[in-house]
Structure 1
């Protein structure tokens, strides 16, 4: 009879960004959750990824998580996030990564947003980073999800008038978190982890990940 610990549960993180895997591992470690092994898209055979056609962050996160779980048979965690600006009625929102028309062009996205808010006074420049994280566990049969959990985190703040700092990515250099004197682009990675929208959404997902590691049903 072996006393060996059970093999960890592999959880596919639907991303090729190694920083997201490390962030999830830090959240698990801080919560004392063991028995989960995060793996990225580079660790599984390539599969067709569904287009992100959702109207909300939660819908897009679920699209990605369901696609990964169905294609690999692994539990899949996916996130979708962006910046919601009050003066733009919540935009760029789900269009944040391609606000300028070119996906992932951070400089162009920042330039366009700053120009659009050029005449907006400081007291009306409120904004918030929003992240939705979805965990989908397949049933091991026909590929339909056995369980789905979605959490959301919000990081309130405002849009600056110019860039500050060269850390982070996306809109970080022009986002001033609430209560901070430094932009998100000026924060150290561990400071950003502790406060960010994605960090908050991941921490809210800990009970579901803990249950997954223990072989239990995901909490409602």
Structure 2
């Protein structure tokens, strides 16, 4: 199944390349898997009813999630030949990416940010994404000099076979953000079998 984001079609296997679990595969029996979201963080409804006015389009340069100590540059991501979202180079563990053919963070619609959970050397940029809580803040530095401030509404984990394309990538009437990495059950044969998705909406700017 495929889902249109803006004028571009993304395959439902979007984050499969994020999910090899190379560190867990080579790290030995003592290696701990990344945190997974609890059911309490996946409750429907906004964590913050406020909604800020949409910002004009501007590419993002950096993403910060203070509650899990993320402060990372953003690179533009396109699509692979199979139609899935490309991913940042695995070797650059503190680098995330945004889908540059879609909505820019802060404008009306659904903006997409993705990054690795780990690489062969250890935890990567979104290793702790599953520990984010409803109500947490995500800040995105924009190339126009402004900062888009989002509030987390929910944090969910999905098996890759049941990934809800419409819910994650569907059009939004207000500025929204999705932050995606891999997660869920882990297999040494196939890596992570799902994705952690953070849902957030714009509540401020500066």
In the superposition, the TM-score normalised over structure 1's length comes to 0.27
Structure having the higher helix fraction is: 1
Flag the structure with more relative contact order, 1 or 2, with Cα contacts below 8 A and sequence separation at least 6. Answer: 2
Larger Rg belongs to: 1
The TM-score normalised by the length of structure 2 is: 0.28
